[in-house]
Amino acid sequence: MFSFLAKSAVAATLFAAALSAPVSSAVSNDGFPTPSAAQLQTIEQTAQGTLPNGGPPPAGAVDAQGITNFQLINFNENFEVAFFKSLVNNITTNVQGFQIQNDKERDFVLKSLNAVVAVSYIFKHK
């Protein structure tokens, strides 16, 4: 139990640090965590897919442990979005150690990372 709590505390600290990092305007205009309809459409285009169209489970179908599991999944998705947004920012702003000299390669990496952010965002919101 202590190990889980310690890991959770470390993850929360890393998550907070990732959220405090500056994010480029190309990444931050997605409306996270509550996008507008236009922003969601852009996110879906970047993710190359849409939100799932299935509804939530019926009331009472998820027990307390299931709710805890969903909360942990939500935490992980928030962390993943923040982590990859920070990485995109570092590459976009040429932070020391994150420079990619070849423009074609840099564009490919940024497009790929932005797709990861968008997919994570879609999973988080369904």
Give domain status of residue 56, yes or no.
Answer: no
Domain hosting residue 9, numbered range: 2-51+62-124
85-123 pLDDT tens trace? 899 999 999 999 999 999 999 999 999 998 888 887 676
Give domain status of residue 57, yes or no.
Answer: no
* Predicted structure pTM score: 0.58
Give domain status of residue 19, yes or no.
Answer: yes
Q: How many domains in the chain? A: 1
Which whole-number Å values give the CA distances from 53 to 27, 68, 91, 126, in the listed order?
Answer: 25, 23, 34, 9
54-89 pLDDT tens trace? 877 888 898 999 989 989 988 888 888 889 889 999
The Cβ of residue 62 has, within 10 Å, a number of other Cβ atoms equal to: 14
Give domain status of residue 28, yes or no.
Answer: yes
Instruction: From 20, 24, 17, select the one nearest 91 (Cα to Cα).
Output: 24
Give domain status of residue 107, yes or no.
Answer: yes
Give domain status of residue 95, yes or no.
Answer: yes
